[in-house]
Amino acid sequence: MSSIEIRLRSQLGDFSLDVSFETPARGVTALFGRSGSGKTSVLRAVAGLVKTPQGLVRVNDEVWQDENRFRPAHRRPLGYVFQEASLFPHLSVRRNLEYGWRRVPEQERQIPFHDVVELLGIGTLLQRTTQSLSGGERQRIAIARALLTSPRLLLMDEPLSALDHGAKQTILPYLESLHDEFTIPSLYVSHDPNEVARLADRMVVLEQGKVIAEGDAATILTRLDLPLAGYDDAASLLEGTVSSHDHTYHLTWISTHGGRIAIAREDLPVGRRARVQIQARDVSLSLRAHSDTSIINILPAKVIDTHDISQTQMLVRLEMDDGQTLLSRITRRSALGMGIREGMHLYAQVKSVALLS
């Protein structure tokens, strides 16, 4: 039973929470939704910080709570990163890190102290007082502090939302490497589609205390019936592997089963998994595979469905030969001119690709 199962039902005044989902016990599952959708309530219930009268929380084969049992938070092997770093002000940085670490029996410590310090780049901060740290540094310490308890589930409640843009950009790579370095499953609460695109493997979308969609992040982010694709920066995610480097033109090729994609040269080993993001507005459509165009990335695809987003523009959801989804934003006029309809085969011309990880 390598999965995480969560079923919660509770009534808090006007707000009712009725959430039920199961997600694989690996990778990052994003709990996505607007503020007030119940994301944080779910996380707090999973942590045991609030008691939900009817609830089931199971992590692999360990039941943390059901109708009869309730393990208090300090007996659940989890790590929790709060929105604000919430470091203990009366303890030094090192003491903060050691707080949880020392409370875990030695034989259960699976993550060495130094690995965490190194991964998060906090070696030089250890002797400092928490008051002297910047927002980004504080959050890195908080993440390290949670990791040092060797958690079996990592819960993160919008860990970047209290940070400015610059600090956010410096922490994201740490979160990504976390994912590669340790095999701790995590639940990541966020309302930012870009953050989710970069970090999440799976998504659970919440609205008014209920799950409205769940599945692979790449699928959910491009579903036209969900509010996500309606954002101006609607985008799709493609997964592939680094297949070769072009030294002459300074390109890196990433191959998927549905076609290969060139990005600006990146120093990545061949065979490494790569995730790229493609903005819907950067994808144009063509009935034939042109060779007389400046665009390098041309992928064959099939139209799945379409959705008008304004009186001028529409989103077209395409499926590549390997089943991955691509979103294209074109004008309704072009769609009419090309006779775009479901099931039609055409070519997606991708003008710009961003490497996420």
Partner 1 sequence: MIFDWQPVWLTLKLAGVSTLILLVIGTPIAWWLARSTTWYKQIISAVVALPLVLPPTVLGFYLLIMLGPEGPVGRLTQSLGLGTLPFTFGGLVVASVIYSMPFVVQPLQNAFQSLGQRPVEVASTLRASPWDRFMTVVIPLARPGFLTAAVLSFAHTIGEFGVVLMIGGNIPGVTKVLSVAIYDHVETLEYGQAHLLAAGLLAFSFAVLLTLYLLNGRLNRNHQP
Task: Tell which phi-psi region holds residue 36, choosing left (phi > 0), alpha (psi between -120 and 50) or beta.
Answer: left
Which of these ranges, 100-108, 165-173, 182-190, 233-241, lies near partner 1 under the rule CB under 8 A?
A: 100-108
Residues in 114-153 that interact with partner 1 by CB under 8 A? 130-131, 145-146, 149
Which residue of 13, 89, 271, 339 would you call a contact of partner 1, by CB under 8 A?
Answer: 89
Please enumerate in sequence order all residues whose Cβ is within 8 A of that of 30, keeping only pairs 6 or more positions apart, or say none: 188, 189, 190, 196, 199, 200, 202, 203, 204, 217
Q: Is 73 in the site for partner 1 (CB under 8 A)?
A: yes
Q: Is 90 in the site for partner 1 (CB under 8 A)?
A: yes
Q: Which residue has the tokens 């055409």?
A: 346
Q: Say if CB 232 and CB 327 are below 8 A apart.
A: no
- Token pair belonging to 152: 């079996």
Shortest approach of partner 1 to residue 85 CB, angstroms? Answer: 9
Which residue of 56, 104, 213, 344 would you call a contact of partner 1, by CB under 8 A?
Answer: 104
- Tell me the backbone φ, ψ of residue 195, rounded to 5 degrees: -60, -45
Shortest approach of partner 1 to residue 27 CB, angstroms? Answer: 21
Shortest approach of partner 1 to residue 242 CB, angstroms? Answer: 37
Residues in 10-49 that interact with partner 1 by CB under 8 A? 47, 49
Q: Is 80 in the site for partner 1 (CB under 8 A)?
A: yes
Which of these ranges, 22-30, 74-82, 119-127, 205-213, lies near partner 1 under the rule CB under 8 A?
A: 74-82
Shortest approach of partner 1 to residue 180 CB, angstroms? Answer: 24
Which residue of 68, 69, 74, 343 would you call a contact of partner 1, by CB under 8 A?
Answer: 74
Shortest approach of partner 1 to residue 146 CB, angstroms? Answer: 7
Question: Considering beta carbons, is residue 80 or 182 the nearer one to partner 1?
Answer: 80
Question: Considering beta carbons, is residue 78 or 111 the nearer one to partner 1?
Answer: 78
Q: Is 355 in the site for partner 1 (CB under 8 A)?
A: no
Question: Considering beta carbons, is residue 146 or 298 the nearer one to partner 1?
Answer: 146
Which residue of 86, 241, 243, 334 would you call a contact of partner 1, by CB under 8 A?
Answer: 86
Number of residues that bind partner 1 (CB under 8 A): 24
Which of these ranges, 61-69, 84-92, 119-127, 308-316, lies near partner 1 under the rule CB under 8 A?
A: 84-92
- Token pair belonging to 122: 């906090």
Could you give the CA distance from residue 241 to residue 70 in angstroms, rounded to a whole number?
43
Q: Is 82 in the site for partner 1 (CB under 8 A)?
A: yes
Q: Is 193 in the site for partner 1 (CB under 8 A)?
A: no
Which of these ranges, 27-35, 72-80, 190-198, 310-318, lies near partner 1 under the rule CB under 8 A?
A: 72-80
SS3 track for the chain: CCEEEEEEEEEECCEEEEEEEEEECCCEEEEECCCCCCHHHHHHHHHCCCCCCEEEEEECCEEEECCCCECCHHHCCEEEECCCCCCCCCCEHHHHHHHHHCCCCHHHCCCCHHHHHHHCCCHHHCCCEHHHCCHHHHHHHHHHHHHCCCCCEEEEECCCCCCCHHHHHHHHHHHHHHHHHCCCCEEEEECCHHHHHHHCCEEEEEECCEEEEEEEHHHHHHCCCCHHHHCCCCEEEEEEEEEEEECCCCEEEEEECCEEEEEECCCCCCCCEEEEEEEHHHEEEECCCCCCCCCCEEEEEEEEEEEECCCCEEEEEEEECCCCEEEEEEEHHHHHHHCCCCCCEEEEEECCCEECC
Question: Considering beta carbons, is residue 167 or 276 the nearer one to partner 1?
Answer: 167
Which residue of 21, 70, 99, 113 would you call a contact of partner 1, by CB under 8 A?
Answer: 99
Shortest approach of partner 1 to residue 69 CB, angstroms? Answer: 17
Q: Is 329 in the site for partner 1 (CB under 8 A)?
A: no
Residues of the shown chain interacting with partner 1 in the complex, contacts defined by CB under 8 A: 47, 49, 72-75, 78-80, 82, 84, 86, 88-90, 99-100, 103-104, 130-131, 145-146, 149
